[in-house]
């Protein structure tokens, strides 16, 4: 599907450790289904369209995997500088994937030379409570340190997947508006964020 040249485009980085369900998160967002089979991904771009505030927008999602041997410094600076927003993803069943989030975020700020950046922190696979290694309170505390909203999500049943992406686009919009007006402060309270408005997003997205 061709993108209307007048359509607003948003470029999002989805970053996290290998095997925490990043590809499944993207599949759930775009197709509203859980992939039964998928292989490991190092870098991959997915595109879709969705409706935000009654406006159809284009969304490019670059999935980046952090490997044990290559940590945050392996993320290409051009990817970081080209992005407009960040989804930091970990698995609630993996303590090590959670512990890497702060390092990744700080690395991105350093590369961009900024004090803040539109970000959402998500803990995946919250429905697998019996494997939980990271509590909700820990995720929420980290989000408060970073200064961003936090959601526990399920790539399997779609819980909070769409909300996470749409909230990030709203934060990107507010951030750009703030830059244009000389103010770049981002809201830090997820509960006061734009998703409090039940009419802010659509119920499904249009793939292309």
Domains in the chain, CATH or no CATH each: 9-207 (3.40.50.300)
Name every residue whose Cβ is closer than 8 Å to that of residue 163 and which is 6 or more positions away in sequence.
151, 195, 201
DSSP 144: H
Note whether 95 and 110 are within 8 A (CB): no
Q: Which pLDDT band, with edges at 50, 70 and 90, does 44 fall under?
A: confident
This prediction has a pTM of 0.81
How many angstroms separate the CA atoms of 143 and 63, rounded? Answer: 20
Note whether 46 and 130 are within 8 A (CB): no
What does the pLDDT look like over 1-33, one tens digit per residue? 555 667 899 999 999 998 899 999 999 999 988
Lowest mean pLDDT among 8-17, 45-54, 126-135, 137-146: 126-135
In whole numbers, what is the pLDDT of the chain averaged over residues?
82
What does the pLDDT look like over 61-109, one tens digit per residue? 999 988 765 567 778 889 999 999 999 999 999 999 999 999 999 999 9
Alpha carbon distances (Å) from 152 to 43, 53, 134, 136, 156 = 23, 24, 11, 7, 12
Instruction: Give the model's pLDDT for residue 198.
Output: 42
Name every residue whose Cβ is closer than 8 Å to that of residue 153 and which is 6 or more positions away in sequence.
25, 122, 123, 124, 126, 159, 160, 161, 164
What does the pLDDT look like over 45-57, one tens digit per residue? 899 999 998 999 9
Residue 208 in this model has a pLDDT that exceeds 60: no
């Amino acid at each position: 599907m061709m993108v209307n040249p007048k359509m607003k485009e948003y470029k999002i980085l989805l970053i996290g450790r290998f095997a925490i369900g990043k590809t499944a998160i993207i599949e759930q967002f775009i197709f509203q289904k859980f992939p039964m089979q998928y292989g490991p991904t190092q870098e991959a771009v997915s595109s879709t369209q969705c409706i935000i505030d009654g406006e159809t927008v284009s969304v490019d999602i670059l999935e980046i995997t952090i490997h044990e041997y290559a940590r945050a410094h392996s993320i290409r600076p051009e990817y970081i500088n080209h992005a407009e927003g960040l989804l930091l993803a970990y698995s609630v069943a993996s303590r090590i994937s959670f512990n890497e989030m702060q390092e990744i975020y700080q690395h991105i700020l350093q590369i961009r030379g900024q004090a803040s950046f539109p970000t959402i922190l998500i803990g995946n696979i919250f429905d697998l409570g019996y494997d939980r290694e990271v509590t909700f309170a820990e995720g929420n505390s980290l989000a408060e340190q970073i200064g961003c909203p936090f959601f526990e999500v399920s790539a399997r049943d779609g819980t909070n997947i769409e909300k996470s992406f749409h909230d990030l686009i709203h934060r990107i919009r507010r951030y750009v508006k703030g830059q244009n007006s000389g103010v770049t402060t981002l809201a830090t309270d997820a509960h006061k964020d734009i998703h409090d408005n039940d009419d802010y997003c659509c119920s499904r997205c249009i793939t292309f």
